[in-house]
Amino acid sequence: ELLDHYEEGTWTAALSDGTDDATMGQSSGYYTRIGNLVHISAYVVTSALGDVNGAVRITGLPFSVANSYAAFSSTGATYAHGLNITAGQTVGTMAYYNQSYLKVKLWDLTSGVSDLLATEWSDDGGIVVGGSYRT
């Protein structure tokens, strides 16, 4: 197979509800694209939520996710702080097909998975994300 695309760079992430963006304190990440596979990492920290409400997402992926249900990708959250969640809950992210953002998900031992809401993210919240997705 011929390697038809290799690229490295940085990307700027933002916490958003899809309409309004939070004020970012730190929002830089790295990516490497090899062919149609993109590997990302980022530390996303807010300094104020502003008008963000409802389900939150991390926007600014360097490339859109492929337009296929098979392109759903689990990305990981390895560290988080400043979140209003309780014991037994964990946070994860997923690349959503045909989009340029990561959905932020909340896993609960008793009720399963749901979207992480702005009310569960404090003004100075932060998360480290990483993973791969297809473009």
Segment 7-26, tens digit of pLDDT: 999 999 999 999 999 999 98
**pLDDT, position 53:** 97
What token pair was written down for 32?
């490497």
Find, among 29, 52, 28, 25, the residue nearest to 40 by Cα.
29
What token pair was written down for 123?
């003004």
Asked whether residue 2 carries a pLDDT value surpassing 70, the answer given is: no
